[in-house]
Amino acid sequence: MQSSATPHHLQAIWDVVSEIPRGTISTYGAVAELAGLPGRARLVGRALRIAPESLHLPWHRVLAAGGRITFPSTSREFIEQRRRLRSEGITVARGRVVCEARAGRPSADARIEQLWKRP
Residues contributing to the site for DNA (CB under 7 A): 7, 27-29, 39-46, 48-49, 51, 59-60, 62, 64-65, 70-71, 77, 81, 118
Q: Which is nearer to DNA, 40 or 102 (CB)?
A: 40
Q: How far apart are CA 84 and CA 103, in angstroms?
A: 18
How far separated are the first and last CA of the chain, in Å rounded?
46
Angle between helices 41-50 and 8-18 (to 10 degrees): 80
Number of other CB atoms surrounding residue 57 within 10 Å: 20
Q: Which is nearer to DNA, 98 or 108 (CB)?
A: 98
Minimum Å gap between C-beta 31 and DNA is 8
Minimum Å gap between C-beta 114 and DNA is 13
Minimum Å gap between C-beta 117 and DNA is 7
Q: How far apart are CA 21 and CA 110, in angstroms?
A: 12
Q: Which is nearer to DNA, 8 or 111 (CB)?
A: 8
Minimum Å gap between C-beta 87 and DNA is 16
Burial 7-21 (b: 16+ CB within 10 A, else e): eebbebbbebbeebb
Q: Which is nearer to DNA, 107 or 116 (CB)?
A: 116
